[in-house]
Amino acid sequence: MLEWKSQEKAITQEEEGACKREIKAIQKELAALQQPIKQAGLPVLLVFEGWSASGKGSIISKVISELDPRGYQVWSYADPTDEEGRRPLLWPFWRDLPPRGEMAVLDRSWYSRALTRLEEDQAAASGLVESINTFERQLGDDGYLILKFFLNISRREQKRRLEKLSDHGATAWRVTDRDWRRNREYAARAEVTELLLQATNPVHAPWHVVQNEDKTRGTLEVLRRVRDALRAALEDGAPRPLPPEQVPWPLRAMPRLKDVDLSPSTTEEAYRAELKRERKKLQKLHSRLYREKVPVVLGFEGWDASGKGGAIRRLSWALDPRGFDVVPIAAPTPEELSRPYLWRFWRQLPKDGHVVLFDRTWYGRVMVERVEGLTPEARWSMAYDEINEFERELSRWGAVVLKFWLQIDQDTQLRRFEDRQSTPEKQYKITEEDWRNRKKWPQYELAVDEMLQKTSTEYAPWILVEGNDKKYARLKVLRTVRKALERRLDG
Amino acid sequence: MLEWKSQEKAITQEEEGACKREIKAIQKELAALQQPIKQAGLPVLLVFEGWSASGKGSIISKVISELDPRGYQVWSYADPTDEEGRRPLLWPFWRDLPPRGEMAVLDRSWYSRALTRLEEDQAAASGLVESINTFERQLGDDGYLILKFFLNISRREQKRRLEKLSDHGATAWRVTDRDWRRNREYAARAEVTELLLQATNPVHAPWHVVQNEDKTRGTLEVLRRVRDALRAALEDGAPRPLPPEQVPWPLRAMPRLKDVDLSPSTTEEAYRAELKRERKKLQKLHSRLYREKVPVVLGFEGWDASGKGGAIRRLSWALDPRGFDVVPIAAPTPEELSRPYLWRFWRQLPKDGHVVLFDRTWYGRVMVERVEGLTPEARWSMAYDEINEFERELSRWGAVVLKFWLQIDQDTQLRRFEDRQSTPEKQYKITEEDWRNRKKWPQYELAVDEMLQKTSTEYAPWILVEGNDKKYARLKVLRTVRKALERRLDG
C-alpha cells in the first residue's frame, strides 16, 4: 500500500507553473464549498500525519488559506500535555471534535501518539488499533467525513531537509534529537507506520499516502483529494462505515426488573454503624486511588425518586472533595447536540486518580431518548454497541467502571412523589415531567430490561440496587464501590 | 486584622455536641438556599485558602454535603498545569467561573498562586495585587458574591498535624518537603500572607480569617458565614464594589473617523513586492515569538465590508498554522451570556508563543450592544474601564496587543455591498443585517469615535487603517504587526 521510496522525476518549470495555477483554483473551490458544508451540516476531519519535515505545516497553510475562519479550526497535537497524559489516548481528539457543518484540520493526531506509544510498548498494538478503528467508526456512523493524509518523503530527503533547517539560525531550534534519531531509524519506523496505516484504513476513513518530495506536486494532490472528497460527500453523504463486527461482548446475566426482590431492608442502628465503617474504608481507598493513579467512573440511573441523589451524597461524604466530581446530566445543550452523542461524556472524564459520579448517564440514549421518541430507532439501537465500546475504552485506560440501577416499585415511587409534594423544601424535586414519566412505566421497564441485558459487561457491570428501603440501598452502593476498589487495588 | 496565634480554649464535649447539631442544621439551610440562588441568578464564589493541613478539604466537604450537585462545582487548584502556566495568572479562574445561579467552591485559588509567585519575586507584589483587585471588582460589578476564607492554625498545630499525617502509611505521601519548609518559615510566610490579604480585602469580596485549631468550631464559623452572606445577598443583592479609581489610562490621541484621509492607495506591483517582503519577515518573527514565548493578541474591527477578512487572511498566510488561531466572534451563546462579558475572550487567549487573531472583538460591547440597545448604558459605559483593565492584564502577562479599525467611507461600503450581491460566490457574505447596520452609520460612528478616544492605550493601541484601497490596507496591517513584533523582540 505505501511506497516508501520516492521514484519521482524532478518537476519542470512549466509543470510547476501549471500546478500552482491549479492550486489557486482549488483553494477558491474549497472556500466556495464551505457554505454547502455548513448547510448540509457535514462535519469534516482532515488529519495530517507524516515524517518530521515532510511539510505538514505548509500544506495545511495551503488548505486553509482561502477558507472563512468561522468554518474551520486548526489543531496542533505535539506531545501530550499533562492534562492529556492523564486521560485516555483519544480524549483530546474527542474534546476537539468539530460540530456539524464545520471542519477540523489536525496537525498530527491519534496516530502520532499511537506511534510514540508503540515505540515504548509493541504489545499495545492490537489495543491501539481497536481503539482507533472504533473511534473512527463511531464518528463515521455519525456522519463525519474523515480524510487522513500521510506525507511521505524518503530518508535521504528528510535528512536533507533536517540539515537545511539546522543550518539556519532561525529554524535550527525546530530540529530535535528525536528527529535525528528517527531519521536514523527510518526503516524500522516506516515498517511500524505501514502496519498501523494498513490496520486503520477503512473505506469511510481512508489513508492517502502523498509523496511530498516535491512540495508543489504534494500540495496539489492533497488539495485535489480534499476537494473531491468534499464534493462526493455533499452529493452522496459521507461514506458510511460497515456495521461493527459482532464482537461477543463479555456479558453478565441480569435479572428482569420485575423479578427483583425488593424486600431487603436494614435497621437504623445497623445502617449507622455500617455507614461509618464503609466511609472509613472508602476514605483510605480514595487516597490509594489517587496515588496509584486509578480513575473511577460511576454511573447512577434509576426511577425518579429511587434515591439516586441520596446514594450519591452518602458516597461523596466518604470521598475527598478535591478528588471527585458529581456530574449531573440534563438535556443536551445545542453545543452538545451538534456533536456525537458520547462527546459530552468523554469531555467529563476524570483525570487518573480521580473519581467521577454521573447523576444520570450516557444510558439516556436507550431510555429517555428511546421511550420519548427523541432519537430514531436506527440511532438508539446502535447505542448498545457504542456504549459497550465506550466503556471498554475506559476500562482499557485503566478505569474502574460501575453502573448502578436503583430499583423501586410503583407504590414506593407514588409514596415518595406525594411526600415531595407535601414537603415545602422538597417540592422543587418534583415536576410535571415526573408524573408524565410515571405513566410510561411499562415502556421504560421494557427499555431498561433490554439495556441491562445488553450492556452489563465484565469490565463495566450493572449493579441492581434494591431501593425500596433507602438505607439498604445506600449501604449496598457503598459496599459495592468499596469492594470493587479493593479488588482493583489489591488484586 | 489577622490573629496568627491561637488563643482558644479547648472545646468541651458539651460545646462540641451543640456545634455539631448546629452544623447539621446549617447544612440543610444551605441546601434550601440553592433554589432561591438559582431563581435569583446569583453567582457565588467560595474561596478557601489556608495553611497546609489547616483543614480546607474537610470544611469543603461539610459545605457541600447536603447540596444538590446540579448547583455547585468544586475546583481544586494545585500548582499550575502546563496549560495554565502558559497563560495569565487569572486565566484558569476566569475559565472556571460559575454561571449565574450557581456556586463554585475553590480549594485554593489565585491567592495560593500569587503567594508562590511572591516567594520567587517580591517585586511582583503590586502588579499581583492590582490584577487580583481588578478581577474581583469586575466580578463584583457583575453581581458575583465572593467570600474568601483563610483557615488559620498556629505553627505548632500545623507541625503536629503534619507529623500525624506523616506517621500514617495511608497519608504520609500527602506531606511534602515544601510543607515542612513552609512550616519552618511559618513566620515569614504569615507576614507575606497577611500583607496580601490586607491589600485584597474590599467590602464586596471580604476575607474571613477562621481559626481552625478546633475543626468543629472552625467548620461552624465557616458555615454560619456562608449562610449569612447568602441570605444577605438574596435579600439585598450581592454587595456592590465601589467604582474603580479613576486611573489616568495612558491614552494615545486618536483622530475622529471623519477626519481620516482615505486617499492612500498602492499599485498592484508595489503591493505584490511588499506583500512578499513582509511575509518573509513575519515568518521569521513568528518563529522567534514561539521560542521566546511571547503571546500576541490582535483584534480586528471595522465597518461591514471594510476588508477585515482579507486583511486577516493575508496576515495568516505569513504565519505558521500551528502557531495561530483565528477566532471569529459572533453573538454570544446562552453559556456565554450567563457569565461576565469578558469571559469568552479570556477563554480564547493564546498560549504564550502563539498568536490569536480576533475577527471582531470585546469591543462589540461599546458598539453593537450600545447602538442596538442590547445592553443598558450603565453596563456598556463601564466597559471602557473593564476593557482597558483586560488589555492591561494581557500586557502585564507579556502579550503584544494591537487593535485595528478598518475605516472606509459610505460610498465604498455601498459599492462593495452591491458587488457582493451581484457575485454568486460572495452572496453569503451580505445579509439584511448589513443593510440595517448601514442605516445606523451615524450612531455607529459616534460610538466608534468614543471607543477610539477612550481605549487606545500605550500598551494596547488602536491602529486606524485607511481601507478604501484594500491593498493599501492589507499592507498597513502587515507592516504594523511586523514593526510591533520587531520592537518587542529586539527590545
List pLDDT tens digits, range A294-350. Answer: 999 999 999 999 999 999 999 998 888 888 999 999 999 989 999 999 999 999 999
State whether A321 and B74 contact (CB < 8 Å): yes
| Three-class DSSP category at B385 | helix
- Give the residue range(s) of CATH 3.40.50.300 domains in chain B: 13-236, 263-490
CA A137 → CA A132, A203, A205, A267, B128, distances in Å? 8, 10, 8, 51, 49
pLDDT for the residue numbered A426: 81
State whether A291 and B70 contact (CB < 8 Å): no
Round the average pLDDT of chain B to a whole number and report it. 94
The CA distance from B110 to A136, in Å, is 40
* Among B65, B69, B105, beta carbon nearest to A328: B69
* Among A64, A66, A320, beta carbon nearest to B57: A320
Q: What dotted CATH number matches B13-236?
A: 3.40.50.300
Describe the crossing of helices B125-141 and B186-199 by its angle, rounded to 10 degrees: 40
Average pLDDT over residues B293-308: 97
The grid coordinates listed for A372 are 420519548
Render pLDDT for A124-179 as a digit per residue (tens, 0 to 9): 899 999 999 999 999 999 999 999 999 999 999 999 999 999 998 778 888 999 99
CA A157 → CA A154, A180, A222, A242, A346, distances in Å? 5, 13, 19, 38, 40
Question: Phi/psi at A50 (nearest 5 deg)?
Answer: 155, 175
| Residue A314: closest C-alpha in chain B | B65
State whether A61 and B321 contact (CB < 8 Å): yes
User: Does residue A55 surpass a pLDDT of 70?
Assistant: yes
State whether B74 and A325 contact (CB < 8 Å): yes
Average pLDDT over residues A78-91: 92
Instruction: Count Cβ atoms within 10 A of the Cβ of residue B409 and give its class: 0-12 exposed, 13-18 middle, 19 or more buried.
Output: middle
| Residue B322: closest C-alpha in chain A | A76
The CA distance from B320 to B323, in Å, is 5
User: At the topology level of CATH, where does B263-490 sit?
Assistant: Rossmann fold (3.40.50)
The four Cα atoms A224, A226, A228, A233 give a dihedral, to 10 degrees, of: 180
State whether A107 and B321 contact (CB < 8 Å): yes
Mutate to test the interface with A, among B30, B38, B60, B61 (most CBs of A within 10 A): B61
State whether B291 and A173 contact (CB < 8 Å): yes
Where b means 16+ CB within 10 Å and e means fewer, B235-273 reads eeebbebeebeeeebeeeebeebeebebeeebeeeebee
Contacts of A352 in chain B (CB under 8 A): none
The terminus-to-terminus CA distance of chain A in angstroms comes to: 44
The CA distance from B31 to B54, in Å, is 25
* Per-residue pLDDT band at B429 (split at 50, 70, 90): confident
Q: Which amino acid is at A378?
A: A
The CA distance from A324 to A354, in Å, is 6
Phi-psi region of A353 (alpha: psi -120 to 50; beta: other; left: phi over 0): left
What length is written for chain A? Answer: 491
Report the gap between the CA of B60 and the closest CA in chain A (Å).
7
* Among B81, B330, B333, beta carbon nearest to A83: B81
The grid coordinates listed for A181 are 534519531
The CA distance from A206 to A197, in Å, is 9
For chain B, state the CA radius of gyration: 27
Which residue from A303, A380, A342, A356 is spatially nearest to A481, judged by alpha carbons? A356
Helix locations, A423-469, DSSP H: 432-439, 441-455
Contacts of A60 in chain B (CB under 8 A): 321-322
State whether A65 and B313 contact (CB < 8 Å): yes
Contacts of A284 in chain B (CB under 8 A): 170
User: Does residue A25 surpass a pLDDT of 70?
Assistant: yes
Average pLDDT over residues B128-146: 95
| Residue A31: closest C-alpha in chain B | B425
CB pairs < 8 Å spanning A and B = 102
Which residue from A18, A223, A320, A347 is spatially nearest to B56, judged by alpha carbons? A320
State whether B335 and A330 contact (CB < 8 Å): no
The CA distance from B483 to B485, in Å, is 5
The CA distance from B166 to B414, in Å, is 75
* Among B32, B287, B425, beta carbon nearest to A425: B32
Under a CB-based contact definition with an 8 Å cutoff, are residues A391 and A361 in contact? no
Contacts of A323 in chain B (CB under 8 A): 76
State whether A70 and B309 contact (CB < 8 Å): no
Higher pLDDT, B445 or B245: B445
User: Does residue A6 surpass a pLDDT of 80?
Assistant: no
Q: How far is CA B371 from the centre of its chain?
A: 25
State whether B105 and A321 contact (CB < 8 Å): yes
Lowest mean pLDDT among A197-206, B190-199, B418-427: B418-427
Lowest mean pLDDT among A8-12, A351-355, A407-411, B301-305: A8-12
* Per-residue pLDDT band at A5 (split at 50, 70, 90): low
Contacts of A327 in chain B (CB under 8 A): 69
Mutate to test the interface with B, among A56, A74, A219 (most CBs of B within 10 A): A74
Average pLDDT over residues B159-163: 96
| Residue A283: closest C-alpha in chain B | B170
Report the share of chain B in percent with pLDDT over 90: 85
pLDDT for the residue numbered A8: 65
Lowest mean pLDDT among B168-172, B332-336, B417-421: B168-172
* Per-residue pLDDT band at B7 (split at 50, 70, 90): low
Average pLDDT over residues A252-256: 96
* Among B60, B82, B287, beta carbon nearest to A321: B60
Contacts of B73 in chain A (CB under 8 A): 325
- Give the residue range(s) of CATH 3.40.50.300 domains in chain A: 13-236, 257-490
pLDDT for the residue numbered A2: 54
Average pLDDT over residues B348-360: 96
* Among A69, A309, A317, beta carbon nearest to B328: A69
The CA distance from A67 to A85, in Å, is 32
pLDDT for the residue numbered A244: 74
Contacts of B74 in chain A (CB under 8 A): 321-322, 325
CATH class of A257-490: alpha beta
pLDDT for the residue numbered B5: 59
User: Does residue B205 surpass a pLDDT of 60?
Assistant: yes
Contacts of B327 in chain A (CB under 8 A): 69
Report the gap between the CA of A193 and the closest CA in chain B (Å).
23
Average pLDDT over residues B81-94: 94
The CA distance from A410 to A203, in Å, is 49
* Among B61, B174, B322, beta carbon nearest to A76: B322
State whether B425 and A32 contact (CB < 8 Å): yes
Average pLDDT over residues B93-117: 96
* Among B107, B170, B334, beta carbon nearest to A284: B170
Contacts of B313 in chain A (CB under 8 A): 65-66
Average pLDDT over residues A57-81: 92
pLDDT for the residue numbered A248: 84
pLDDT for the residue numbered B428: 80
Contacts of A24 in chain B (CB under 8 A): none
